[in-house]
Amino acid sequence: MSQERTGAVIMIGHAGPTAAEQLLGRALQAAAADLIAALAEVGVCPIVVAGPELGWLSAQANCLPDRDVGPFHFGQRLAGVIERFELAHVLYFGAGSAPLLAQEMIAQVGETLRGARAHDERLALTNNLHSSDWVAFTQAQEALPVLRRANRDNSLAWMLQEDGGWTVSTPANLPPAARLDLDTPADLAIVRAHPACSPRLHAALEDPLLARIPVEAVLAVLARDGSRAALIGRVAPQAWEALSRATQCWIRVCSEERGMAASERLARGEARSLVERMIARWGPGDFFEELAQMADVAIIDSRVLMAAAGRYPGTDERFASDLYLLDAIHDLWLREFTAAAQAAPLPVLLGGHGVVAGGLHALAEIVAERRAR
């Protein structure tokens, strides 16, 4: 094995059958195609794309398809690719993890890895230590035992640090919006509104479904001086600060259950939420009425509420909630909550972790760009 063999691994999952899941699938393919082109341009080779359905790659050069076979386990799958292609150092990406990550930053990450491997350092770079969407790391063969235990990529950077002894950091000049990960319909609506959205990705997002998500109404409120914004869920402190710098808003924050997926609290049913208890006590309708007395817009990571309520349905219903497709929601708790959010006297943006993390950074950048016109 060549000790200088530094490659990239891009993983893309199966798209579900609903229109929203298919839309996300097309967006992930477009984002992955952009990423392949950027990696090839800065000289990363090989670029391996792993997933269950890779026919769309026929039009893509500079990459090697590696189709999933058998039951899927994230860490074992990643470790298997690294072994099979004899990679000494790796840039791992989820397919939707870098839609706003510039080619120049990818080149910088690669250069940093090259410097570390020259001194046999165990170094990793990531977008988020506590919930990683992409991780670049040296000494990949030594990392295999750690990788095989990772159930999902969100815990990968943390495990490399805590279990493997890698020095893990986030690039100091990583643009905040580059942390945006495409995981839900809300993420798609946000990235579509961002000026740095690529033409290929923007074309994939030309779908009337996304018009159901009130991104423009949210942006209009955030751009208005003196307006009030409520941020609820796994709110990242840096994202809250970015919104504060970009706007003249009063911001109310309730940050709960950060790291619930990476720590496996979600899987163990241990998530708890003060906001969910308020909704349970008052009912969702009264909750949003009260919230409207304190805020002019609400951005809510609804997955924390679902987890804390013990009502965490499948991807199809979670996406239907984000899109306010009430007839597609069978869980009674989620349908009632979603209907109340839709009828609320303020715009409510529902989504996953991204809407109060990378998505919030992207919203801040969009507002700053529009205010500067």
- Residue 78 sits in the same domain as residue 219: no
- Residue 166 sits in the same domain as residue 305: no
Q: Which long-range contacts (CB under 8 A, 24 or more apart) does 195-202 make?
A: 195/366, 195/369, 196/100, 196/102, 197/99, 197/100, 198/30, 198/34, 198/99, 200/30, 200/33, 200/34, 201/27, 201/30, 201/31, 201/34, 201/99
pLDDT band at 247 (very low <50, low <70, confident <90, very high): very high
Report pLDDT digits (tens) over 17-73: 999 999 999 999 999 999 999 999 999 999 999 999 999 997 777 899 999 998 999
What is the rounded end-to-end Cα distance, in angstroms, of the chain? 53
Helices (H), 15-129: 19-41, 74-84, 103-117
- Residue 214 sits in the same domain as residue 353: yes
Q: Rounded distance, CA 18 to CA 328, Å?
A: 10
Scan for tokens 């990696």, then name that residue: 39
pLDDT surpasses 80 at 364:
yes
Q: Rounded distance, CA 109 to CA 170, Å?
A: 10
Instruction: Report cis status (omega within 30 of 0) of the bond before 46.
Output: yes
For residue 371, the model assigns a pLDDT of 84
For residue 1, the model assigns a pLDDT of 41
Report pLDDT digits (tens) over 215-235: 999 999 999 999 999 999 999
Instruction: Give domain status of residue 1, yes or no.
Output: no
| Number of domains composing the chain | 2
- Enumerate residues 6+ apart whose C-beta is below 8 A from 240: 231, 251, 253, 255, 360
Report pLDDT digits (tens) over 12-27: 999 999 999 999 999 9
**256 token code pair:** 């709960």
- Residue 161 sits in the same domain as residue 192: no
For residue 130, the model assigns a pLDDT of 81
- Residue 15 sits in the same domain as residue 93: yes
For residue 4, the model assigns a pLDDT of 66
Mean pLDDT of the chain: 94
Ramachandran quadrant class, 120 (left: phi over 0; alpha: psi -120 to 50; beta: rest): left
Domain coverage including residue 115: 6-174
Report pLDDT digits (tens) over 328-350: 999 999 999 999 999 999 999 99
**340 in Cβ contact with 193 (< 8 Å):** no
Report pLDDT digits (tens) over 94-140: 999 999 999 999 999 999 988 887 778 899 999 988 889 999 999 99
Report pLDDT digits (tens) over 272-310: 999 999 999 999 999 999 999 999 999 999 999 999 999
